[in-house]
Structure 1
Amino acid sequence: MSDPTDPGRRVTLTDIDIPFTRLILIFIKFGLAAIPAAIILSIIMGVVMAVLGGIFGGMYGAGMMGGRF
């Protein structure tokens, strides 16, 4: 009898039978889970852009407003 944890053992999946309503519920859960992730990513990107804008925007803005380098 072969060991089930053998890494050489291969499995081929040919069919998955999921009812349509269950599939819709899965998509709704994924969609709801994406909302907090999008909020967190937008906050992180906002902070990064604010830092980069503060660093590089000050150099660019000083030249355009007639300031000295």
Structure 2
Amino acid sequence: MDQPTKIVLVDINIPFIRLVMIMIKFALAAIPAMIAVSLIIAVLMMALGGLTGSGNFMWMHSGRPY
């Protein structure tokens, strides 16, 4: 079997404007991903809060017990 060919990347020539466009595309693609991740975390936190009963609304009574 042939030996795999090793390739060494020495230099990439990307114009500055093209590099800026790539970064803008990455930023725009990250927005829906961040929304999806935050929704998943919110659902998990609501489930965890519901299981532990941490929503006792003490702030409605100025910190005094019922």
Q: 1:33/1:7 Cα in 2 relative to 1: closer, same or farther (>3 Å)?
A: farther
The answer to whether the aligner puts 1:28 opposite 2:24 as a matched pair is: yes
- Kindly report the root-mean-square deviation, in angstroms, between the aligned alpha carbons of the 2 structures: 2.3
Q: 1:12/1:49 Cα in 2 relative to 1: closer, same or farther (>3 Å)?
A: same
Q: Distance in 2 between matches of 1:7 and 1:24?
A: 39
TM-score, structure 1 normalization: 0.72
Q: CA deviation at 1:9?
A: 1.7
Of 30, 43, 46, 2:42 maps to 46
Q: CA deviation at 1:7?
A: 6.4
**Structure 1: runs of 5+ lacking an equivalent:** none
Q: 1:31/1:7 Cα in 2 relative to 1: closer, same or farther (>3 Å)?
A: farther
Report % sequence identity: 48
TM-score, structure 2 normalization: 0.76
Of 33, 36, 43, 1:37 maps to 33
Q: CA deviation at 1:42?
A: 0.4
Q: Distance in 2 between matches of 1:52 and 1:7?
A: 54
Q: Which runs of 4+ in 1 moved over 6 A?
A: none
After superposition, the C-alpha distances for 1:10-46 in whole angstroms (9 at most, x for unaligned) are: 1000000000000000000000000000000000000
